[in-house]
Amino acid sequence: MANSVMMVFGTRPEAIKMAPLARVLREWPEVDLHICSTGQHREMLEQVLTAFGLSVDQDLKVMTQNQTLNGLARDLLGKLDQAYEQVKPDIVLVHGDTTTSFIASLAAFHRHIPIGHVEAGLRTGNLQQPWPEEANRRLTGVIANLHFAPTTKARDNLLREGVPLEQIEVTGNTVIDALLWMREHLTQTAWHPAADSPLHALQTDQRMVLVTGHRRENFGAGFERICLALAELALRYPDVQFVYPVHLNPQVQKAVYGLLSGRGNIHLVAPQDYQHFVWLMNRAHIILTDSGGVQEEAPALGKPVLVLRKVTERPSVLEGGTVKLVGTNTERIVRETGQLLDDPEAYQRMARVFTPFGDGHASEIIAERLSRWLEETAAKRDDA
């Protein structure tokens, strides 16, 4: 009889990073895959599902406008409990560090359902940055039974916290699977944004700086400083285009549209679906971001990245010299971006392909380890 594996995700990055694994597991006859979307995100999640041709078996539709962490956690806990009651999975797979990841793990733990944690073991060591994600990831790690660590550094973090070695598999990051798959698809189909896309009008002969920013710990003063830096850069470099797909979080929308609207060379656009966004990253000269996933993807494409954070839970990216932490200080963002725009040598030093997260086969490695775990668990059950 096939084993019941339930995958739970709810936000854009979780869906992008779980999609390649879902595609692999759907092909495995010994696995009966049930995909549950919590709906922590709505439009931004639908974009991913469409881009990967992925259908979900269940949608808990929890998102509300401007949701609070506690309101979201409360709704998730209740609805996931019912979902587990209905599906009765042999194992629940969660991803990363979101409220969905942690609450899906907690609800499974309360029902004695084993948990597999994809992208486990990343740490900054600082509970305030990223907030609340550092806590979500650590708490999930405490109750997970199988830990899929993207790098040996992540594995070592888990070992230091007392996780037994036999529960950890070093896998690479599934985001590289997703990225390479999408890039191949774009190349093969010679894909370009359609005429009705705001990206269609981008001048091909001008350099482009791609920006994303949405972290909760940057809300308020942090966002203001980032936007002031972008305004200053746009003024100093009128021949450079700044493209910012603005996250749908109302706090982000208010700050970004309030401070940056109406400038000729700043293009504020809606969040882009994955194919448009991979096209944008490929086309970018430099990327400024506070995103976790973009820090992993951009070095694989050879794009210099300035990270709008003080710390990163992905220290591997810093080793290649293609990613630099610049924080949210206005003057520093302007200086560092300016240097990359003005100094070709400084630019070339950072514009190199660097891939510490594997070669695009993380999903297969995870699926194989999961399959072994399912077999071992079934054997133990039979022995008992």
Which residues are known to be catalytic?
A: 97, 119, 133, 214, 216, 247
**Which range of residues in 97-105, 107-115, 166-174, 373-381 is near ligand UD1 by CB under 6 A?**
97-105
For ligand UDP, the closer CB: 242 or 274: 274
Q: Which residues of 320-340 are buried (b: 16+ CB within 10 A; e: fewer)?
A: eebbebbbbbbeebbebbeeb
Measured from the CB of residue 96, what is the shortest distance to ligand UD1 in angstroms? 7
Phi, psi of 119 (to 5 degrees): 65, 55
Q: Is 157 left (phi over 0), alpha (psi -120 to 50) or beta?
A: alpha
In angstroms, rounded to a whole number, what is the distance separating the alpha carbons of residues 23 and 9?
15
For ligand UD1, the closer CB: 109 or 131: 131
Q: Which residues of 21-55 are buried (b: 16+ CB within 10 A; e: fewer)?
A: bbbbbeebeebbbbbbbbbbbbebbbbbbebbebe
For ligand UDP, the closer CB: 114 or 132: 132
- 292 near ligand UDP, rule: CB under 6 A: yes
Residue whose C-alpha is closest to residue 284's, from 322, 243, 327: 243
Residue whose C-alpha is closest to residue 317's, from 278, 284, 291: 291
> Of residues 251-280, which lie at the interface with ligand UDP (CB under 6 A)?
271-272, 274, 277
Contacted by 294, from ligand UDP, ligand UD1, none: CB < 5 to 8 Å by type: ligand UDP
Contacted by 249, from ligand UD1, ligand UDP, none: CB < 5 to 8 Å by type: ligand UD1
Stretch (H or E) spanning 59: strand 58-59
- 122 near ligand UD1, rule: CB under 6 A: no
x/- letters, 32..61, toward ligand UD1 (CB under 6 A) = --------xxxxxx----------------
Four-residue CA torsion sign, 44, 73, 294, 159: negative
For ligand UDP, the closer CB: 294 or 374: 294
- 12 near ligand UDP, rule: CB under 6 A: yes
Residues contacting residue 195 through CB under 8 Å, at least 6 positions apart: none
**Which range of residues in 105-113, 200-208, 247-255, 302-310 is near ligand UD1 by CB under 6 A?**
247-255
**Structure token pair of residue 201:** 């009008």
By rule CB under 6 A, what count of residues binds ligand UD1? 25
- 124 near ligand UD1, rule: CB under 6 A: no
Torsion of CA 37, 39, 44, 46, to 10 degrees: 50
Contacted by 169, from ligand UDP, ligand UD1, none: CB < 5 to 8 Å by type: none
For ligand UDP, the closer CB: 18 or 87: 18
In angstroms, the Cα distances linking 70 to 67, 76, 103, 251, 263 are 8, 10, 11, 17, 37
Strands (E), 260-321: 266-269, 286-289, 305-307
> Of residues 255-314, which lie at the interface with ligand UD1 (CB under 6 A)?
none
Measured from the CB of residue 223, what is the shortest distance to ligand UD1 in angstroms? 12
CB atoms within 10 A of CB 8: 30
- 119 near ligand UD1, rule: CB under 6 A: no
Residue whose C-alpha is closest to residue 361's, from 171, 109, 113, 136: 171
Place of tokens 């269609």: 200
- Select the residue interacting with ligand UD1 from 9, 12, 157, 303 (CB under 6 A): 12
- 16 near ligand UDP, rule: CB under 6 A: yes
> Of residues 212-231, which lie at the interface with ligand UDP (CB under 6 A)?
212, 214
Q: Which residues of 219-256 are buried (b: 16+ CB within 10 A; e: fewer)?
A: eeebbbbbbbbbbbbbeebeebbbbbbbbbbeebeebb
Measured from the CB of residue 49, what is the shortest distance to ligand UD1 in angstroms? 12
For ligand UDP, the closer CB: 28 or 191: 191
> Of residues 308-347, which lie at the interface with ligand UD1 (CB under 6 A)?
none
For ligand UDP, the closer CB: 53 or 162: 53
Contacted by 16, from ligand UDP, ligand UD1, none: CB < 5 to 8 Å by type: ligand UDP
